[in-house]
Amino acid sequence: MSAQPTTGQPLDGARMGLIALALTLAAAPHFARIPIAATLAFLALLGWRFWFATHHRPLPNRHWISLLGGIALLLIWGGVGIGGLTGGVALLLVMIALRLMESPHREESHLPLFLGLFLVSLQFLKSQSLPTFALMAVQLLTLLIAWLALERSDPLDLRPMLRQGLTLMGQALPLALILFLLFPRLSGPLWGVPSSSSASSGLSEEVAPGDVSTLALSDAIAFRVAFDGAKPPGNQLYFRTIVLDQTDGVTWRALPPKLAPQTTGVEQGISQTITLEPDNQRWLPGLDRAVASGDANLDPHETLWLRRPLSERLRYNVTSRLDPKPTPLDAEQRSASLALPPPDPQVSALAASWRRQHPDDDHGVVQAGLDWLRSQPFVYTLNPPIMIEDPVRQFLFEQKRGFCEHFATAFAVLMRSAGIPARLVVGYQGGEFNPLGNYLIVRQRDAHAWVEVWTKNSGWERVDPTATVSPERIELGMGALGDLDALAGLDPAERMAALRDALAGGLGERLIENLRLGWDSLNNGWNQWVIGFGPELQASLLRKVGWLGETWQGLAVGMGVGVALFLGWFSLLHLRRPGLDPVVAAFAKVEQRLAKLGIQRLPGEGVETFCRRVEPWVVVQSGGLVPLALQYQRLRFAPDPHPDEMKAFQQRCRALRINGLQEPTT
């Protein structure tokens, strides 16, 4: 139906309240990132405008509004500036509220709602998560309802406006889906990425005793791994990230990465797809040991790296071998892998005793070191004591309490003291398998440190001293250990049994666990197929349906076909609707009965004029023509007439009886 324009209609309290609610909901996610003064100014101005609307008071003149705008601008400029995203959003909020302060009529209130759509879309610059998208859908619906309220002249009824808002969103959804799938993709994300401050802190290129244990307190997800085939057993889930060669006896450091020599042929091994969360590092984890990756550089240490720190979520493929080939060690490399400041005499004496037992057997020395650790009352704990003077000596001979990096750094120093090349490796071990998505979730708490030693026959091989002291850490994963100190008094078998019982849980715990894993699977799918829908995935999808070769022409054709299909569907949807307004159709029946008597409406003649002209010439029962015309005009031009009134008008038109012509009376 056509509707009378609402020009000049004042903005009443109910509609202003709905606008304030919609704009506040759209702006709420930004409140934590903008100056508190801007937030308070925005809310105060909205509340003030609502007071004017409910009390029917005239709005302040433009001079006062300009003064308020200048004060707000100075506050924002002095706080965060107006050049960046934070200052820009703060300024936009205040300008929206000021625009409402100078908008006494409904038609002038559309612009603030339109700007509210920008507030909603700006959230993508900070977060692109599934909950953010769901919140944006609610915000959009609220803005649409407020917009529809401005177009209605009758008292507000939220139910039809909610239904109409959902209908509008549903009609736009197919076109949005077509554009999402077919619009040409750039190499980077369309909305940019969250700032680096949102990236979680992961492993570092420098490790000292106590560094890794800080990560064990974090449940933040480091990465997810999908294996092409069966998942390796838990004791093989070592994700190699950084190799640290240099040490001063306490802190271990990584050398700058460099490219490994290129190999010919296709490497065979375990294929995995890793989705890594941003961590501001350039090192990428891969199942120990990575032998190939088409998406990252491979270091001679068989680690993966990027040329720039990672500031956005990355999905890459890795091929790894659990039984790597032995690698030679030249004199320079051997010297670097044995370099060590003079250790404490106790440490040197312990290492020398193992060498005397196995003078020509490096494997024997390594095993002697592990046996010694096993025989001592070492405790694996997240709360090791602070050791400053000589951490290695204090840990080995005094405190005997530590986390994985304490065991690894001490064992590496012992091996170098015994004349065996050794180095420290940091990465992740274990993880939580999600059967709903068939992938492994690795969290920051799974960060781990171990040692690699070089022997003549085996090359570099992994040795994990933590597994000697706490085998349940390797078998069950860090997430299963709970309170480590509470388990310290149990022997290994008792600890393992207690942890397995705790993992089994009850029915309620298993239900909560399945819900949590289901949510993570949903998030993972969102990240991979929506946020991660880049040029490669788009090209792969379009090739599968035969719309894309290697040229943009194919994509343009596909996009054109998609838009044409949507327009065709939309047209058919509207063609199914009645061609005439129900009010027009009902009165047309009356005109048909008058036409049988030779009375017709003139071109350009209005309904009321027509009825006043012909009513004196006809004999009418069950009402008159002029009252019927007045009701017609009221319903025809109402923005949203009540269904009961429409039905009553249709019944009145059907009940009208025209019995013939008569001479008009004077």
Domain spans, the chain:
13-156, 206-260+268-509, 582-661
Query: What is the C-alpha separation between 272 and 302, in angstroms, rounded?
Result: 16
Question: pTM higher than 0.75, yes or no?
Answer: no
DSSP 665: P
Number of H helices, E strands in the chain: 23, 21
Q: Does 448 qualify as catalytic in the annotation?
A: yes
Q: Does 344 qualify as catalytic in the annotation?
A: no
Long-range contacts from 530-538, C-beta under 8 angstroms, 24+ separation: 531/128, 531/189, 531/313, 532/275, 532/313, 532/315, 533/180, 533/185, 534/185, 534/187, 534/189, 535/185, 535/186, 535/187, 538/181, 538/185
Residue 663 φ/ψ, nearest 5 degrees: -80, 135
The residue assigned the tokens 């933590």 is 466
Distances (CA, A) of 623 to 378, 464, 582, 645, 654: 102, 98, 20, 16, 11
Sequence-separated (6 or more) residues with CB below 8 Å from residue 200:
218, 220, 222, 277, 278, 279, 444
Q: Does 446 qualify as catalytic in the annotation?
A: no
262-301 per-position pLDDT tens digit: 665 556 789 999 999 988 889 999 999 998 888 889 998 9
The active-site residue out of 301, 464, 520, 611 is: 464
The active-site residue out of 301, 344, 448, 653 is: 448
Query: What is the C-alpha separation between 591 and 433, in angstroms, rounded?
Result: 74
Give pLDDT, residue 16.
93
Series of mean pLDDT values for 10-residue runs along the chain (666 residues) = 48 92 95 87 91 87 78 69 75 88 85 94 87 94 93 80 92 86 67 47 84 83 94 93 93 88 69 92 93 87 91 90 87 93 92 95 96 92 85 92 93 96 96 93 94 93 92 64 54 58 62 86 87 78 66 58 67 56 89 88 86 88 85 84 88 88 77
Give pLDDT, residue 505.
57
Query: What is the C-alpha separation between 560 and 557, in angstroms, rounded?
Result: 5
The active-site residue out of 211, 404, 406, 653 is: 404
β-strand partners of 192: none
Give pLDDT, residue 491.
60
Per the CB < 8 A criterion, the answer to whether 401 and 381 are in contact is yes
Per the CB < 8 A criterion, the answer to whether 313 and 276 are in contact is yes
Sequence-separated (6 or more) residues with CB below 8 Å from residue 325:
459
Give pLDDT, residue 198.
43
Q: What is the mean pLDDT of the chain?
A: 83
In the three-class reduction of DSSP (H, G, I as helix; E, B as strand; rest coil), residue 554 is classed as helix
Query: What is the C-alpha separation between 242 and 264, in angstroms, rounded?
Result: 25
